Structure 1
Amino acid sequence: MVQRGLGGPPRIADKVIHRQSVRLGRTIKLLCPVEGDPPPLTMWMKDGRTIHSGWTRFRVLQQGLKIKEVESDDAGTYICKATNGFGSMNVNYTLIVIDDASSGKDSQVPEGSNGEYEDHSGKQWARPRFTQPAKMRRRVIARPVGSSVRLKCVASGNPRPDITWLKDNKPLTPQEIGENKKKKWTLNLKNLKPEDSGKYTCRVFNRVGEINATYKVEVIRKYCPLGHSTKIGVHCQ
């Protein structure tokens, strides 16, 4: 414990397991075991964004962060920042969200500061990472009926990661994916219909960890003035 009267910056008061896993729909609590004199104030961030009262399923507690009814989008990097008059420190977490589609794929592995570690044979493992983030910046995509769209989630890792696709948090069936299973990192949606609108999530995972990304696809009905022709494949209603 910090000696009274001396004062000191925040410090870790207990062991932290930086990699946490939770199943879809469950509740999880990420602890922030810090102490200091004076007692530090804490704030939480997810992927660089400050968590506030508008995040309805998130509750910032005195000693941690509680997330209820976990969704796939909740996966990511969480930081608890503790600050007092003598300094500040961060407690980092990587949260992995799993469901029945990926159960059994996830296993506990030795922790590494950057998601990498060596096993007893000296082999280097690495958690998945997206290798073409510039092609993933546009996450909200609008397309007219009858057109097509490609959703990319190119990733690397060791062991080589697998990928699954979900629509509105439900795994896509092989029939829905169709020929796209030949193109491992790309989901190609053709001849779009209004019912194809929704959130498409790619889940990339190996034995070290899991990452995901979500695209929102909006299929727009094409309205045409009377007597005007339209592009082939675009329906007017």
Structure 2
Amino acid sequence: MMTTASFIVVSFYLLVWLFSKHLATHIPVSQPPEVIAALGTPVKLLCFFNCSCPGRAYGSFNSSNRKVFGNVTCTTVDQERVCESKSVIVNTTLDDENIFICKVKIPGENISFEGEGSGTKLILYAEPSSVEIKEVNPVVEGRSANLTCTVRGMYPQNIILSWFRNDLFSALPSELTSTRILTSSGEIQSVLSFTPNINDHGTSYWCQASHPLWRRNVTQHKLLDVKSGPRALNVTILKGLETLNDLSEFLVIPKHTYIELSCSADGNPKPLIMWIHEKEDYKNSTDSSLVIHKHILVIKKMTKESEGLYTCVANNSYGMINVTVSISATEGTGIILIYFTIIAICNVLLMMACLGFCLLVKQKGNKTKSPKESRTATESEEADIYAVPQKKRTRTLDSVVESVSYVEQPQLTYADITFKREPRNSNLTNKETLIYQELQSTEDSILYRYTEPDEPVSTIYSVARMPSQ
């Protein structure tokens, strides 16, 4: 009995539904194909339709797992209603990423108007909350190394991860490879594998995450800290001698000499440097002249006891190198001899300079001697007999007596006399020529000069005799 009654009720409602569908009029509804929004931000869903029918319109947006009601507003244009249905999802989540179909209905007494859109796809995205580059293990010179770039908080997950070196425009060399990994927590990782060298220390490596939906690309960079063992070990002498260029040297130091040696090396981290002497008991003795302070070796006073092998050791966590210097003592005659040789050469040069200066001064002095001092030297060199007056005469007498000119001279006049020496076989006993004579008078001095009648009186002579051979 109950089964028959239930069947009758269901049949009735089915007939009513079929009848109402038959009486409903279809309305065309348009929707935008997609809406893109950032995850967690509000999203507006819209659809549009036109109808000349009276009555209130209702709308909704339906997805496979959600239904939201729309607010329908209409305006009349040329006796036709232009309507819009709008719905807002305030806080979008990943569950809202779906296709929403707009449905509208305008019920009437006899006929109802209904329409359905093609659907709007809601697309959500999220830019990364962080991008981080980590070294899985310390980056060591010559060893395989990995850099891991981790991107968190992004959506969707089909992002693009790219690696660059030095800047965002320098692509990686072909020998560098990267692998993309999706973790269980939703993080995206990219692992870069390479073998660094010492020149990579301080180089920038960039990781860039991008997606077409994002407003900007997100990047992060890291400066490589390439670890390396000690290298380029150098031993230098801070006081005296020259730099030691080879890793093994024989150094001979004069006795009683003070000397300092310095040892240096490169490496990352900075290596620990120390000096080691082969005689540990000597190094630790209280009266030793040897002082070792880290990379500095000081020998206050070189002695035979200071001789031996001195080893400089540089080490860090990634390697160790050393260099040994053999130091021996000498009497020091070599350096002392060089020292005194230089002093002797300087003294000789100084004496030669002084001697040359004295000769130059003496030569100049001979040229400026008085007439009496230079007479002996000049008599044998000059070819003619001449005289040069030393004072200007005040008055000349015009009278000439027996071809002798008179010159009045208030003061005694001096002159330089030179003559040419006659040959040894010449008889000079009776060959005397009166050249100059001075007569004393209480009033004046009269000077006589032998001259030719036509020769002008212009030169004063003194009496001179030819020296006998």
Q: Which TM bucket (shorter chain)? A: 0.3 to 0.5
The structure, 1 or 2, with the larger RCO (C-alpha pairs under 8 Å, 6+ apart) is: 1
Pick the structure with more strand per residue: 1
Q: TM-score, normalised by structure 1?
A: 0.38
Pick the structure with more helix per residue: 2
Q: TM-score, normalised by structure 2?
A: 0.21
